[in-house]
Chain A
């Protein structure tokens, strides 16, 4: 097990290194002045020579990379070309908002996806299965932006149940500390925190549900298929033959086996979710990383694009590695296979 963890960590570090190389070279690949692309400081700025020197643009490429890395770790990620705000300062407030939304959506997907898949599998080819399959198929095929619009029209405009923009009603006056609204409400010294929390949850409801849909149906389909596969195997028949009850067979034998397949795909589901969050943040005016990234792509705000890419890719990478490690830890067979290679 330790060997596997070590190996995964090596992979992580190697990939992060390659990622940093890519992010570093983006400054060269983008059109325009390299120093400006990397730091967001315009050539007409008085600080330009100092910044160019600090980032070692007067030296060779290796020292430039080292300077880039040291800037990265001292949280000097440059300033936005659009409005001159520090990229790191802005990320610090926006990343938790994105993380909050994506973790909640992922939790929802994990909470509902596999159980529904199992339910469909044990009712294979019956009504329940067909309803769930239909639902998963439509959830899979409706584009996220369309579904978001539809939800807004139905639940917010027609029914008036939920708000559609932002994290919380601004009249609550929650001081901005972490960027994650639930944490901020927790930290705020307000007499009516409960209502504020409720309000924030209402704001979250639609984006979380829409965001959760794609990973949810993915996990559901995977679980269903894996379960059906396992149910066909002889040992299940054997278990029944030995007189085990259906729940026992299901929870002791079928589900653990089926989950082996599904666990590995959690990271796929998560990266799908992160792709969708860009659109969702835009539609629901969520003040997160994704919305800023989309605008920066429009405005060709290179320091922001660079930083956001680095952050989002590292996040996906981390989730990926963690899933692999959990997968290996939970399923000894996989561990043996990994060790064998």
Chain B
């Protein structure tokens, strides 16, 4: 009997192999997403990497509110309504009724979402005495970096479906922080169950959330498998399952996309994007990353303490050429430190345009007719905002030689690079910033204020009282018009003072097979797979 079966299977296999048609699972709708690395955790509260965020946050969890990038406004998610007190310190959220948690082999929820879950999720990173605070390492980098753990004074539940959050001081970026993919809501009931089972660390390994997909299993270096959450409050996802295949090499990811081993592949190799776009069986989506590459001058050192010199340098660099050669045109010129997608963005192109003769004139005016010698520190690692700082530095070296400035390129191993940078040993540095959330404040206060200088994050070591006043006033008001006015003034001030020269905002790419339907460009919150499905009919047509 066995032999007969073997023979049959064998012959089917042989015919199949001869016919060379891919054998696909019948009646299963699933999406294969080739991810660029293993997830560090299944709890976005504890991570900073975009890779982990893409795989976890939007798939498994929900946040209280969401940010709509098209309309530049906040929209309801787990919270249906919210209100802010007149002094801007107390926020109240009304929770959505009947939100179901995941029902899995390891957890069966007995109740729907209520205020306890929100309090549990927030207290985990807020309160060091919370039973889960130190579980799985106890680091909450996003909440530490945005200082949300210091901003929130108290969180309480006046009724089972309302949550009240009191801030220490008004902060108009608070809503943005809440809408970020890090501020997810966990299940308090699951937390209690794991405490009883004395396995609290499982909360981050076998996650329970309210998102469109539920966790099935994870195999290191192979895949993360999710299944559809049928009781999802927005309606069940279009595909039954989602598999993240772990493929660190970008070239391999592209090949797998072409062979159908993946349906969606993020970050295709930069040099191949034009070729991929030309293919009929592949679609390329793109979105502008909320990031900026910039060249920061050490404003504490001569001659960079002189605004005239900094202005001269900013006219000496041919940024258009950099976009072509370093980014392969996968970036746009930055005319402000704030990306074009932000509602507060104001372009000041005349302050940074390429004009070598003007640069020479300004240098002469500043008292350096024969130029000077300087160092450019090039960050040693690849970042989303800069694929190769070293190459960029080499191009800039040539531009600077044109105006009589001799530049040396300096690079250290990443850790010592950061340490020396914090100590202010540099003349100038090529670095950048990728935003954590949508609020424009994220590009000003953490980067260029006197406070940032004190906390060693201000690469220009620049401290300007007028600028500090503008951005602090902007964060104290929730009035959009008023904030726009203040940020306009701040960006004009930056254009005059040029503590940093904005270089480029890079573009994030994602490639998908032509059979993938309803896919959206990636956002910095992650990728939205809820509506995505594979059109199998299309696939057979495309196959040769």
Residues of A with Cβ closer than 8 Å to B? 83, 85, 90, 152, 156-157, 159-166, 169-173, 176, 192, 194-199, 201-202, 205, 285, 287, 291-292, 295
| Stretch in B221-229, B387-395, B453-461 with 4+ CB within 8 Å of A | B221-229
Q: Is the CB of A197 within 8 A of B256?
A: no
Q: Is the CB of A164 within 8 A of B255?
A: yes
Known: A170-B223, A192-B26. A160 touches B260 (CB 8 A): yes
Task: List A contacts of B245 (CB < 8 A).
Answer: 165-166, 170
Q: How far is the CA of A162 from the CA of B260 in the complex (A)?
A: 9
Q: How far is the CA of A170 from the CA of B256 in the complex (A)?
A: 13
Residue B451 lies at the interface, judged by CB distance under 8 Å to chain A = no
Q: Chain A: which residue is nearest B40 at the CB level?
A: A83
Q: What is the CB-to-nearest-CB distance from A257 to chain B, in angstroms, rounded to a whole number?
A: 34
Residue B17 lies at the interface, judged by CB distance under 8 Å to chain A = yes
Q: Which 3 A-B pairs have the closest CB atoms?
A: A161-B20, A171-B30, A199-B23
Task: List B contacts of A199 (CB < 8 A).
Answer: 22-25
CB-CB contacts of B237-261 with A at 8 A, as 1s and 0s? Answer: 0000101010100001001101111
Known: A173-B225, A201-B17. A157 touches B255 (CB 8 A): yes
| Stretch in B8-16, B151-159, B397-405 with 4+ CB within 8 Å of A | B8-16
Q: What is the CB-to-nearest-CB distance from B483 to chain A, in angstroms, rounded to a whole number?
A: 44
Q: Chain A: which residue is nearest B216 at the CB level?
A: A173
Q: Chain A: which residue is nearest B15 at the CB level?
A: A198
Q: Is the CB of B26 within 8 A of A163?
A: no
Q: How far is the CA of A169 from the CA of B32 in the complex (A)?
A: 9
Residue B28 lies at the interface, judged by CB distance under 8 Å to chain A = yes
Q: Is the CB of B259 within 8 A of A157?
A: yes
Q: Is the CB of A170 within 8 A of B255?
A: no
Contact of A194 among B9, B17, B241, B255 (CB under 8 A): B9
Task: List B contacts of A194 (CB < 8 A).
Answer: 8-9, 12
Q: Is the CB of A171 within 8 A of B222?
A: no
Known: A159-B20, A165-B247. A285 touches B30 (CB 8 A): no
Known: A163-B261, A165-B245, A171-B241. A198 touches B23 (CB 8 A): yes
Q: Which size class do B's interface residues fall under?
A: 35 or more
Q: Is the CB of B259 within 8 A of A164?
A: yes
Residue B543 lies at the interface, judged by CB distance under 8 Å to chain A = yes
The tally of CB-CB contacts under 8 A between chains A and B is 106
Q: How far is the CA of A192 from the CA of B26 in the complex (A)?
A: 8
Contact of A170 among B20, B32, B258, B544 (CB under 8 A): B32
Contact of A173 among B12, B220, B222, B241 (CB under 8 A): B241
Q: What is the CB-to-nearest-CB distance from B296 to chain A, in angstroms, rounded to a whole number?
A: 33
Task: List A contacts of B247 (CB < 8 A).
Answer: 165, 285
Q: How far is the CA of A160 from the CA of B544 in the complex (A)?
A: 7
Most-contacted residue by chain A among B22, B223, B544 (CB, 10 A): B22
Q: How far is the CA of A172 from the CA of B8 in the complex (A)?
A: 20
Q: What is the CB-to-nearest-CB distance from A232 to chain B, in angstroms, rounded to a whole number?
A: 40
Residue B481 lies at the interface, judged by CB distance under 8 Å to chain A = no
Q: What is the CB-to-nearest-CB distance from B51 to chain A, in angstroms, rounded to a whole number?
A: 15
CB-CB contacts of B95-106 with A at 8 A, as 1s and 0s? Answer: 000000000000
7 contacts between A and B (CB under 8 A): A160-B260, A165-B252, A169-B23, A170-B222, A171-B24, A192-B25, A195-B23
Contact of A205 among B17, B24, B26, B219 (CB under 8 A): B17
Q: How far is the CA of A170 from the CA of B543 in the complex (A)?
A: 20
Q: Is the CB of B25 within 8 A of A160?
A: no
Q: Is the CB of B255 within 8 A of A195?
A: no
Known: A162-B20, A201-B13, A205-B17. A287 touches B543 (CB 8 A): no
Task: List A contacts of B223 (CB < 8 A).
Answer: 166, 170
Q: Is the CB of A171 within 8 A of B16?
A: no
Q: How far is the CA of A197 from the CA of B255 in the complex (A)?
A: 23
Task: List B contacts of A166 (CB < 8 A).
Answer: 222-223, 245, 261
Q: How far is the CA of A199 from the CA of B544 in the complex (A)?
A: 18
Q: Chain B: which residue is nearest A196 at the CB level?
A: B25
Q: What is the CB-to-nearest-CB distance from B13 to chain A, in angstroms, rounded to a whole number?
A: 5
Known: A194-B9, A198-B16, A287-B222. A171 touches B28 (CB 8 A): yes
Q: How far is the CA of A165 from the CA of B216 in the complex (A)?
A: 21
Q: Is the CB of B241 within 8 A of A85?
A: no
Q: How far is the CA of A38 from the CA of B483 in the complex (A)?
A: 59
Q: Known A-B contacts: A163-B261, A165-B247, A195-B25. Give 4 more (CB < 8 A).
A: A156-B258, A157-B258, A198-B9, A285-B222
Q: What is the CB-to-nearest-CB distance from A223 to chain B, in angstroms, rounded to a whole number?
A: 26
